[in-house]
Amino acid sequence: MKRIYLDYNATTPVDPQVLEAMLPYFSGEFGNASSIHTFGQRARAAVETAREQVAALLDARPQEIVFTSGGTEADNHAIFGIARAALTEKPAVHVISSVIEHEAVLNTCQALEKQGVVVTYLPVSRYGLIDLEALRAAIRPETLLISIMHANNEIGTVQPLVQVGQIAAEHDVYFHSDAVQSVGKIPISVKNCQLDLLSLSGHKIYAPKGIGALYVKSDTPLRQLLYGGHHQRGFRPGTENVAAIVGLGKAAEIARAALNSERQRLASLRDRLETGLLARVPDCVVNGAGAPRTPNTLNVAFAGIEGEALVIALDLRGLACSTGAACSSGAVEPSHVLTAIGLSTADAHASIRFSLGRYTNEAELSEALEMISAAVEQLRHLSPTYKKPIPAHH
C-alpha cells in the first residue's frame, strides 16, 4: 500500500541533500569542533558555515545563533535564561505569553510561576489571534519578557510579530518567539520583528531530529542552563553535534532558496484540499479560517465523529494525519488551542490537522480527498451522536 503523509507539522523526512551533507561528519570528518588540530579545524569550519546558513534564513548575524537539541530546549533556554538572570536583581518579574502556545512555552511559564514569577496568558480570538491592545494593556512596570509564537502548530494562525515587536520595544521589554512552525515556511526577519530571542527546530524543516537553534540578539542577558565548557559563547556547553548542525545548516539554505515558490505551491495545494473537503463533506468547519495561516496547515472539525477514530480509520486506508500536536498525542483532554478559539469539547475532539510538505503533490491530494470523505461517511454512519440530514421529499 502506498502511503500518503499529511503530518508535516509533526515531523519531516530528512531531505536527501541534507543527508548527503551530513554523511562525511559521521566518518572521515569526525573531529571535535573544539580541537585545534586540522581534524578539529575542519569540524569547526563546518559548524560556522551552518551558523551562517541558519542566520541568513532569519536575517540575523551568525554569532547570534546558538545550536540546541531542538525547539523545546531553545524555548526553555530563552524563557528560563531571561527570567533567571532578572530574578537575581529584581524583586518582581512579570512575563506575558498566550493561551495557545506550545507546551514547551506553557510548561516553562508554569514552572516559572512556581518560582514566584507572575505570568499573564493572553486570550485569542476565534481565529487564534492575540489582541494587540490587550497585550499593550497587560504590560506592567515589572514586565520582563513577552513570548508569543509566530505560527500555531495546530491551526496555522500567524501572529502579527512586527506589531508585537514594536510594543515590546516601546516598553523596553524582551521579546521571544517560538518560530518552530514558521521558519522555512514563511519569511521572518528577527530585525524587522525586533526580536531578542527566537526558537527553531531542525526536524520541522527536513533536517534530523535532535537539533535546533536559538537566536540570541547580541547583548541579551541570557543565563546559561547547562554548565561545562565554554562552547557557543558560553551559552551552551558540550561538544557540538557536528553532523546534525551541518544538516540544520543545509536545510536552512534549501528552505531559504525555495521559500517563496514553495510557499505558493503549498498554499495552492492546501486551498485545493480545503475547498474539496468543504464541497464533499457536509457539516465540516475549517478552524482558524479567515486568519493569516501558514501555507501548509489545514485544521478541520468533522461534526459527529471522534478525531482519533478518524486518524486511525485514515491510517488503515494509508493516509497519515493527526488530531493536533504530536507532543500531546494520547491525551484525552481536548486541544487547548481549539478550546481557546471557542470550540466545544465535542468539536475540539472532532478536529483533524492535515499538514502538507515538500513531497506532497496533487495526485496524493486527490486520493486523500477520496479517503477522507469515505472515512468520515463511514464513521458518521456508526456514530450515535451524528444527526443525519433528513432527505428532501419530492
Active site residues: 327
Per-residue three-class SS string for the chain: CCCEECECCCCCCCCHHHHHHHHHHHCCCCCCCCCCCHHHHHHHHHHHHHHHHHHHHHCCCHHHEEEECCHHHHHHHHHHHHHHHHHCCCCCCEEEEECCCCHHHHHHHHHHHCCCCEEEEECECCCCCECHHHHHHHCCCCEEEEECCCECCCCCEECCHHHHHHHHHHCCCEEEEECCCCCCCCCCCCCCCCCCEEEEEHHHCCCCCCCEEEEECCCCCCCCCCCCCCCHHHCCCCCCCHHHHHHHHHHHHHHHHHHHHHHHHHHHHHHHHHHHHHHHCCCEEECCCCCCECCCEEEEEECCCCHHHHHHHHHHHCEECECCCHHHCCCCCCCHHHHHCCCCHHHHHCEEEEECCCCCCHHHHHHHHHHHHHHHHHHHHHCCCCCCCCCCCC
